[in-house]
Amino acid sequence: MKDMIWITWEYQVRNRNLSKAINVPLYEIIHETKTTTGRYIKSSIATLQLIKRQRPQVVFHQSPSIVLAFLLALLKPFFGYKIVVDVHNAGIKPAEGKYGLLNAFAKFSLLRANLLIIHNEAVRKLIPCDDSRIFILPDPLPSTCPMDKTTINKNEFVNILFICRWSADEPYEEVFKAARLLFDIKPNVRILITGKIPKHIQTLELPENIQLLGFVETEEYNRRLVTAHGALALTTRTDSLNCAGYEAMACEVPMILSDSQVLRDFFSRGYIYTQNTATDIASNIQRLIAQRDELKEEIGKQKRIYSNEYTAKIENLKKHVNALIDF
């Protein structure tokens, strides 16, 4: 799509997948500095230089970053571009709404966007603007999954991959408790946990059937996912979709998700839903292992349906964006 650019200040899969799907060039402005302030300053200067050089009619970005969103909203009147923001929950209520200034920045940015892309209908009620500026688009399925029919782990262990960021909304302590319960019932079940390990986790005495993988590069992460017996991704949020759910669908790996209506409506086949309690998590891991073949077949069907529907949604989004230029 001509005269359009997508700007991001971080490496993020959705930025790459979505910009590629709508054929908008992606500019990843990444600066490693000693301080956060220094990174924001360098990234802001680079963003301004890019806009001056490209003179785009439409600028896409993702929120968060709250600072990038605020900067683009400030620059908009001077350069006359339209803003399309792919907004996530943390771009609406940053830091769970704890800080007034961050929330003010977020609201300022959203009100000045011409089109807001959101994940699902539940997020709609959180955004202070009219429906004409809202476009609902879930994540595209990742294209990096090695679908070469790699066989699952054949040793004595049954591996469940817990996809975790160690965020406040992830009930990982309940997963630790579930692992202890499972060890007494099924000692061959291992829970492998991804994500850079926080300091407070490094000092814990964890069950021996828990393995912390730490940060995992994309290729290794995909290999771990497709060779696991199943996957696990949990959140206490009730109004958000889970990126790991898309990854499991792309790789046709059965998954356990937290039980919310939003997740049930969206990830309808090949998934198991659990309460965020140790006993329920442990019980559903056993259920996944027992029903794995059936669940794998169902999630494969969901993948094919989703891919067809997503293609139609992308074409509709392109029409909405082109209408911004013609307006």
Tell me what percent of the residues of the chain surpass a pLDDT of 90: 69
Q: Judge whether residue 59 has pLDDT over 70.
A: yes
Higher-pLDDT residue of 132 and 8 is: 8
Gyration radius of the chain over CA positions: 21
Q: Judge whether residue 326 has pLDDT over 80.
A: no
Q: Which two tokens stand for residue 46?
A: 């680079």
Q: Judge whether residue 27 has pLDDT over 80.
A: yes
Tell me what percent of the residues of the chain surpass a pLDDT of 70: 94
Q: What confidence tens digit (pLDDT) does each residue in 142-193 have?
A: 776 765 555 555 567 899 999 999 999 999 999 999 999 999 999 999 999 9
> In the structure, what pLDDT confidence band is assigned to residue 141 with cuts at 50, 70 and 90?
confident
pLDDT of residue 130: 77
Q: Are 232 and 255 in contact (CB under 8 A)?
A: yes
How much is the average pLDDT of 4-12?
93
CA distance 55 to 41: 21
Classify 158-305 by CATH class: alpha beta
CA distance 249 to 309: 14
Q: Establish whether domains 4-137 and 158-305 are of one fold.
A: yes
How much is the average pLDDT of 116-133?
81
CA distance 253 to 260: 20
Higher-pLDDT residue of 198 and 12 is: 198
In this structure, of 87-101, 109-123, 169-183, the range with the lowest mean pLDDT score is 87-101
> In terms of pTM, does the model score above 0.85?
no
pLDDT of residue 298: 97
Q: Judge whether residue 304 has pLDDT over 90.
A: yes
pLDDT of residue 19: 92
CA distance 155 to 266: 34
The residue ranges of every structural domain in the chain are: 4-137, 158-305
How much is the average pLDDT of 199-205?
94
Q: Judge whether residue 124 has pLDDT over 80.
A: no
> In the structure, what pLDDT confidence band is assigned to residue 97 with cuts at 50, 70 and 90?
low
- List phi, psi (to 5°) of 273: -110, 140
CATH topology of domain 4-137: Rossmann fold (3.40.50)
pLDDT of residue 314: 94
Q: What confidence tens digit (pLDDT) does each residue in 232-274 have?
A: 999 998 877 888 999 999 999 999 999 999 899 889 899 999 9
